[in-house]
């Protein structure tokens, strides 16, 4: 594996230290992020996700511990800190509140201009970033205030992408958007990730969404990292995730309940396809596009049928509801 692009070492942040409002928001977090990773940062509200990402480009200073960009501590020199400001792009929740220039073009151009690029290069960066997030050039001369909520969000994300950061950290970028707007922005982010090789760190509360797109999940719990791994590994801890107040993806939730009812399903299931395969015991057979119809394609082998509890055991519990949904 290549060297990490961004690391934290024993990163700790205490708000309002020494006052009655003192709060340790994150504690002793050591993580490495690698080029081209697509990482989901998840955790209950107040678990420290936003505090964590705001350290990644020096916006917040650690109470103790360090952030390293390409192996160099941000605190080691102004040069490294400045580099991280441009190379670790941070998109806040509700980024549209950060739009302040007169035109859309100027807003997207703000970052590249600060990088002291030539006028031509700035214009090229603006066009490229706008394309990635679906901002049409026809609105370049409009005031950001005239735009719809979804368009504002796109312009704000474009302003960060225009710096071509090697790491793009987004704090709930799709919160508050309708499903279509969410899906479209996620598609844009995936395209950006695939074509630039940037590492993307995405904070979200939407487990269904992040399970679909991330190659790695980091789960925060009360300021610490509870789990870190591929989704399949993290969803092995389904019960603990639910107990943390997290909502599992639908398939993971069903798999967890079936396991708790005694079904010998493998751990770590989080997609409908894997769930269907596990239930049917037929490798490679998926749900297809039939709107959730569970079609096993014939009688499942005996091993699969015996994997589920007998109907007599199952029925009363199902009728009573699952108790946690």
Ligand X SMILES: Nc1ncnc2c1ncn2[C@@H]1O[C@H](COP(=O)(O)OP(=O)(O)OP(=O)(O)O)[C@@H](O)[C@H]1O
231 near ligand X, judged by CB under 6 A: no
Interface region with ligand X, contact rule CB under 6 A, candidates 48-56, 136-144, 153-161, 178-186:
48-56
Choosing from 43, 95, 159, 173, the residue that interacts with ligand X (CB under 6 A) is: 43
173 near ligand X, judged by CB under 6 A: no
Q: Please, which residues have CB within 8 angstroms of residue 227's CB and are 6 or more apart in sequence?
A: 217, 218, 219, 233, 234, 237, 240, 241
Which is it for strands 216-221 and 38-43: parallel, antiparallel or unpaired? parallel
Query: How far apart are the C-alpha atoms of 163 and 88, rounded to whole Å?
Result: 9
Q: Are 82 and 130 in contact (CB under 8 A)?
A: no
User: Binding marks (x or -) toward ligand X, 19..38, rule CB under 6 A?
Assistant: ----x-x-------------
Nearer to Mg ion, 223 or 238 (CB): 223
Q: Please, which residues have CB within 8 angstroms of residue 34's CB and are 6 or more apart in sequence?
A: 1, 2, 3, 4, 5, 199
Nearest distance from C-beta of residue 133 to ligand X, angstroms: 22
- 65 is in the binding site of which of ligand X, Mg ion, none (Cβ under 5 to 8 A by kind)? none
Nearest distance from C-beta of residue 100 to ligand X, angstroms: 22
Strand ranges for the chain from DSSP E: 6-15, 23-33, 38-43, 64-69, 72-73, 88-91, 167-171, 199-203, 216-221, 224-229
Q: Are 241 and 268 in contact (CB under 8 A)?
A: no
15 near ligand X, judged by CB under 6 A: yes
Interface region with Mg ion, contact rule CB under 5 A, candidates 45-53, 72-80, 173-181, 243-251:
45-53
50 near Mg ion, judged by CB under 5 A: yes
184 near Mg ion, judged by CB under 5 A: no
Q: What residue ranges bind ligand X (CB under 6 A)? A: 15-16, 23, 25, 43, 45-51
Q: Which residues bind Mg ion (CB under 5 A)?
A: 50
């Amino acid at each position: 594996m290549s060297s990490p692009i961004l690391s934290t070492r024993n990163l700790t942040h205490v708000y309002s230290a020494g006052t009655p409002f003192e709060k340790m928001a994150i504690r002793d977090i050591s993580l490495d992020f690698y080029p081209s990773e697509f990482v989901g940062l998840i955790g209950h509200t107040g678990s420290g996700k936003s505090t964590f990402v705001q350290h990644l480009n020096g916006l917040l200073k650690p109470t103790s511990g360090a952030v390293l960009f390409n192996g160099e501590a941000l605190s080691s020199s102004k040069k490294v800190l400045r580099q991280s400001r441009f190379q670790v792009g941070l998109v806040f929740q509700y980024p549209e509140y950060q739009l302040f220039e007169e035109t859309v073009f100027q807003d997207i151009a703000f970052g590249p201009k600060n990088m002291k690029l030539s006028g031509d290069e700035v214009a090229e960066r603006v066009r490229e970033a706008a394309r990635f997030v679906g901002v049409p050039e026809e609105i370049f001369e409009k005031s950001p205030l005239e735009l719809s909520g979804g368009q504002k969000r796109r312009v704000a994300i474009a302003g960060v992408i225009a710096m071509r950061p090697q790491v793009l950290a987004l704090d709930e970028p799709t919160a508050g958007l309708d499903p279509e707007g969410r899906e479209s922005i996620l598609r844009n982010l995936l395209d950006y990730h695939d074509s630039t090789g940037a590492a993307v760190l995405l904070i979200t509360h939407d487990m269904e969404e992040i399970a679909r797109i991330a190659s790695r999940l980091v789960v925060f719990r009360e300021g610490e990292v509870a789990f870190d791994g591929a989704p399949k590994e993290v969803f092995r801890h389904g019960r603990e995730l639910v107990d943390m107040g997290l909502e599992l993806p639908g398939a993971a939730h069903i798999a967890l309940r079936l396991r708790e009812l005694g079904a010998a399903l493998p751990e770590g299931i989080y997609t409908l396809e894997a769930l269907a395969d596990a239930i049917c015991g037929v490798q490679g057979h998926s749900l297809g596009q039939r709107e959730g119809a569970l079609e096993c394609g014939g009688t499942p082998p005996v091993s699969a049928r015996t994997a589920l509890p007998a109907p007599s055991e199952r029925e009363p519990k199902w009728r009573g509801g699952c108790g946690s949904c």
